[in-house]
Amino acid sequence: MSDSNAYPRLGINHDDFRNAAHALVDQIIDYNTTAAERQAFPDVKPGFMRPLLPDQAPEEAENWPEVFSDIEKVIMKGMTHWKSSGFLAFFPTASSYPALLGDMLISAVTCVGFTWAASPSCTEFETVMMDWLAKALNLPEFFIHNGTGPGGGVIQGTASEATLMTLLSARSKKIRSQLSKDPQKSHHDINKRFVAYASNVSHSSVERAGKIALVDMRLLEADDEGSLRGKTLLDAIKEDKRNGRIPLYVCATIGTTACCTYDNLMEIGTICEKEGIWLHIDAAYAGSALLCPELRYIAKGLEFASSFNFNPHKWMMVNFDCSALWFKDSTYAINAMNVDPLYLRHEEKSSAIDYMHWQIPLGRRFRAIKLWFVLRMIGLEGLRSHVRRGIAEAKHFESLVEKDKRFEIMFPVTLGLVCIRLKIEKWDNEKLNEVNRKLYDAIHADRRFFLTPSSVKEKFFIRIATGSSNCTTAKLDECWAVILEMAAKLLNENISTDN
């Protein structure tokens, strides 16, 4: 029998770790101090990393100073700096010192909380934090653990996982219902008749969830305001039912990624309730706005939801990953995902939550800790102030654009997104799309600001997302100046060509 003492303990000792941790914390603080001034998008091309690294891992351990010295010249060389004040792309990803402290503790306690027994604190702490958050957003009572029903919340990794999880739950529920009516039917026969619905400006992860779940996801045409309306949904449902299909699930979005628009929850919810269809509400970005009472109008109709999701890691100062999902009735999720091997059983199984049944993976991190730190160390009023600042920044940028008649604002500015497009009356849409693509390419090549484009109803436009920790109105003024500079060059070139 081998003696384990004959083998060295690997890694660094406590004192070495303390010294390394102090150095790394200093590096993190220095990074946060300078991040606003860093170039948002790096000057690199695919494949840049390989020449910076050896061909293989070292045989012998290297010391911390050697590793530490490579952070800036290897890692930072190709980083897109989401904390840069020039980063106005996508939606902001949240970050704060309280969340960083939470992440440190999460990593230190080495918890994989798949069942209650795997770590009772991990499970029970999460149920309390999800209730705190539900109350802060003024969500319906049925989403509260031990509230008016079997509902409750769970932290997922991303909204993509939440959409897939709710679709699988809806599918399981409907299959059980169909089999109770006709036990001779097979799961396959039922599943191939299922159809789900979302807006054509919903996030791409919604369509992807349909592909994974083998459910046809119909993307229905949003109206001119970027909203999926009840009549459009009802017409699609009637058509599918006439063709022998089974309407299963609707994913409605508040705060779409493309243009920050809102599906009509009242109209959609009324139809889903009448038709017995699962209504999932994806509020990945806009959900944080519900912290503010004056903004809760965007979620009118939330009482019809079977499930609701938003990402605290977008606008609520909680580091990635942390996506909050609530079920009106969690038993459908548990029925969809439940497996019961002996090694996962425990004596409190009948009375405790096992979150492994509420998600796609088995294992899970103790993510509620960083949510707890943020809620306590920033507070709800601090978070509301953060959201309101992002909206004020967007309104400021909107006011700049409105002064220049060569530009149009594509969609109403309600939160922290402004969608703009050059417009020249004598040019058709094809020409305008071409010029706006060139404008975006010029801004991206310039590298002073990192923006992202989008397209709705075949109209190409540029998105400016405010609200990140280092965004300021002064920086938005600079961004607008860059846009005007690039636009002037393009317009001069195109007008000369036209003449």
Q: Nearest-CA neighbor of 41 among 2, 79, 98, 92?
A: 79
Contact criterion met (CB below 8 Å) for 454 and 461: yes
Q: What is the mean pLDDT of the chain?
A: 89
Question: What tokens appear for 360 in the block?
Answer: 């796609």
Q: What is the Cα Rg of the chain in Å?
A: 25
What residue type is 445 in one-letter code? A
Residue showing tokens 């920033």 = 378
* 345-360 average pLDDT score: 79
Range scoring the smallest mean pLDDT among 107-121, 249-263, 264-278, 446-460? 107-121
Of the chain, the percentage scoring pLDDT greater than 90 comes to 60
In this prediction, residue 116 carries a pLDDT of 77
Domain map (residue ranges) of the chain? 104-379, 380-498
In this prediction, residue 263 carries a pLDDT of 96
Contact criterion met (CB below 8 Å) for 306 and 327: yes
pLDDT digits (tens, 9 = 90+) for 395-440: 999 999 999 999 999 999 999 999 999 998 888 889 999 999 999 9
In this prediction, residue 436 carries a pLDDT of 95
**Alpha-carbon span 323 to 45, nearest angstrom:** 31
Q: Nearest-CA neighbor of 391 among 326, 282, 471?
A: 471
Banded pLDDT at 1 (limits 50, 70, 90): very low
**Alpha-carbon span 404 to 221, nearest angstrom:** 31
Contact criterion met (CB below 8 Å) for 68 and 23: yes
CA atoms within 13 A on the CB side of 105: 15
| Sheet with 452-456, edge to edge strand ranges | 407-409, 417-422, 459-465, 452-456
In this prediction, residue 138 carries a pLDDT of 96
Contact criterion met (CB below 8 Å) for 293 and 318: no
Banded pLDDT at 137 (limits 50, 70, 90): very high
Contact criterion met (CB below 8 Å) for 360 and 162: no
Instruction: Respond yes or no on whether the N-terminal peptide bond of residue 240 is cis (omega within 30° of 0).
Output: no
pLDDT digits (tens, 9 = 90+) for 262-314: 999 999 999 999 999 999 999 999 999 999 999 999 999 999 999 999 999 99
What is the reported pTM?
A: 0.91
For residue 61, give the 3-state DSSP assignment.
coil
Banded pLDDT at 211 (limits 50, 70, 90): very high
**CATH code, 380-498:** 3.90.1150.10
pLDDT digits (tens, 9 = 90+) for 28-50: 899 889 988 999 898 899 999 99
Q: Nearest-CA neighbor of 153 among 173, 124, 110, 115?
A: 124
Of the chain, the percentage scoring pLDDT greater than 70 comes to 96
What does 243-312 look like in DSSP terms, one character per residue?
A: TT-EEEEEEEEBS-TTT--B--HHHHHHHHHHHT-EEEEE-TTGGGGGGSGGGGGGGTTGGG-SEEEE-H
CA atoms within 13 A on the CB side of 393: 27
* Range 104-379 classified under CATH 3.40.50.1110: no
Continuous segment of H or E residues that includes residue 455: strand 452-456
Strands 323-327 and 246-253: unpaired
Does 324 score more than 80 pLDDT? yes
The residue that leads in pLDDT, 124 or 261, is 261
Banded pLDDT at 497 (limits 50, 70, 90): low
| Sheet with 278-282, edge to edge strand ranges | 152-156, 323-327, 307-310, 278-282, 246-253, 194-199, 216-220
Does 348 score more than 80 pLDDT? no
Q: In Å, how far are 153, 366, 375 from 129, measured between CA atoms?
A: 9, 11, 9
In this prediction, residue 445 carries a pLDDT of 93
* 155-178 average pLDDT score: 91
Question: What tokens appear for 326 in the block?
Answer: 């609530």
Does 231 score more than 50 pLDDT? yes
Does 193 score more than 60 pLDDT? yes
**Alpha-carbon span 279 to 268, nearest angstrom:** 8
Dihedral pair phi/psi, residue 198, rounded to 5°: -155, 170
Banded pLDDT at 362 (limits 50, 70, 90): confident
Q: Nearest-CA neighbor of 415 among 91, 38, 66, 77?
A: 91
Q: Nearest-CA neighbor of 174 among 125, 213, 123?
A: 213
**Alpha-carbon span 85 to 94, nearest angstrom:** 14
* 470-477 average pLDDT score: 94
